[in-house]
Structure 1
């Protein structure tokens, strides 16, 4: 069990080693637990696709440590930068134009080159320490199985009962805030909230 605000570094380091070896993790966020894996872990991603019955075109969200890291993966104009700075870290996913420097495996996912990506800067002590310790963004997705519409993804015991058999490690930080995140599309002329989450946002 990890402390949600001041997590134990040794436990985080164990999870880092598992992720770097290609593992799949359950991580707590400010909008429920999520699945997370390293950018180059194709096998972990394929496991997620099989579990959730997703095709290769399904977009996954990038978890980032800070805005500067997000700026290397996406094209941030002044408007998007100011908006993200005002709403992060927090339970909000931003749809942004992909940067030319986006890693090739992510850019070429699916049948066509990805033109936009989802980015999050989560506000949870455990996952923020995990991102700092691993030193790179992680890919992530929500805990939705094919036969579920509104799964419980924020109560740690329920998450463990449903998902622990399919992952390599769970960073158990007790219950976390419910989801989903709000989603803000920043690819058009003006930002648009396309989904209001558990904590609604105002632009």
Structure 2
């Protein structure tokens, strides 16, 4: 049975954030809010989290996981950025964008794309998500919280608990955070290519 944390969406309680982080460090898989729907997340050190996310979402090994980072300095540890990508991505974050970039050696091989050696990164504009990754001291390995084949992600904390109580360790309820996914920009070839139009304004990368 998953623990349920009712967290203030703008001023997340430090006591509750600390409890969630303790669980994440103990290999927990959690559902948490972002600026573009709820996500599944675990720490990079988790031994089981990635496989559990794949099982819940019916994903194969070619799925791009996303590293949700606290700030641009942290993001830069995990992906390779040339000058143009650095400037453009820095100007667009925090925000509802996911960027696919070549992974550095800081990213465990099992989390990068098996052929392209790329990984998704983002800095969300959401107080709860940022509080979690800041307190954790590293990124959350994440994927959108949606049932296989669903038209939209889950966005209600109690619904998440009702439907996924048996496969999650914690639900961090930060209220409704919308259902529109991030805009995904693939920068792995040296120039931006929009591969999904979502909440983030895509025109700045066209």
- The answer to whether the superposition gives a TM-score over 0.5 is yes
Alpha-carbon distance in structure 2 between the residues aligned to 1:117 and 1:155: 28
Deviation at 1:114, TM superposition (A): 5.0
Corresponding residue for 1:128? Answer: 130
Deviation at 1:174, TM superposition (A): 1.0
Q: Deviations over 1:82-129 (max 9, x none)?
A: 11111111110001111234334435x7xx465211001011101101
Residue pairs, 1:5-84, within 5 angstroms: 5-84=10-89
SS in structure 2 of the partner of residue 171 of structure 1:
strand
Alpha-carbon distance in structure 1 between the residues aligned to 2:33 and 2:106: 28
Aligned residues: 199
Corresponding residue for 1:179? Answer: 180
Corresponding residue for 1:138? Answer: 140
Residues 143 and 151, structure 1, Cα contact 8 Å, conserved in 2: no
Alpha-carbon distance in structure 2 between the residues aligned to 1:23 and 1:102: 19
TM-score with structure 2 length normalisation?
A: 0.88
Residue pairs, 1:180-199, within 5 angstroms: 180-199=181-200
SS in structure 2 of the partner of residue 55 of structure 1:
coil
SS in structure 2 of the partner of residue 166 of structure 1:
coil
Gapped regions of structure 2 (runs ≥ 5): 1-5
Task: Summarize the Cα distance change of 1:21–1:122 in structure 2 as closer, same or farther, 3 Å threshold.
Answer: same
Alpha-carbon distance in structure 1 between the residues aligned to 2:50 and 2:109: 15
TM-score with structure 1 length normalisation?
A: 0.90
SS in structure 2 of the partner of residue 11 of structure 1:
helix
Structure 1 vs Structure 2 CA RMSD = 1.8
Deviation at 1:45, TM superposition (A): 1.8
Q: Deviations over 1:15-59 (max 9, x none)?
A: 001111001000100000000001121212222222222233322
SS in structure 1 of the partner of residue 107 of structure 2:
coil
Deviation at 1:188, TM superposition (A): 2.2
Corresponding residue for 2:119? Answer: 117
Residues 95 and 200, structure 2, Cα contact 8 Å, conserved in 1: no
Residues 30 and 178, structure 1, Cα contact 8 Å, conserved in 2: no
Deviation at 1:165, TM superposition (A): 3.1
Gapped regions of structure 1 (runs ≥ 5): none
Deviation at 1:193, TM superposition (A): 1.5
Alpha-carbon distance in structure 1 between the residues aligned to 2:193 and 2:116: 20
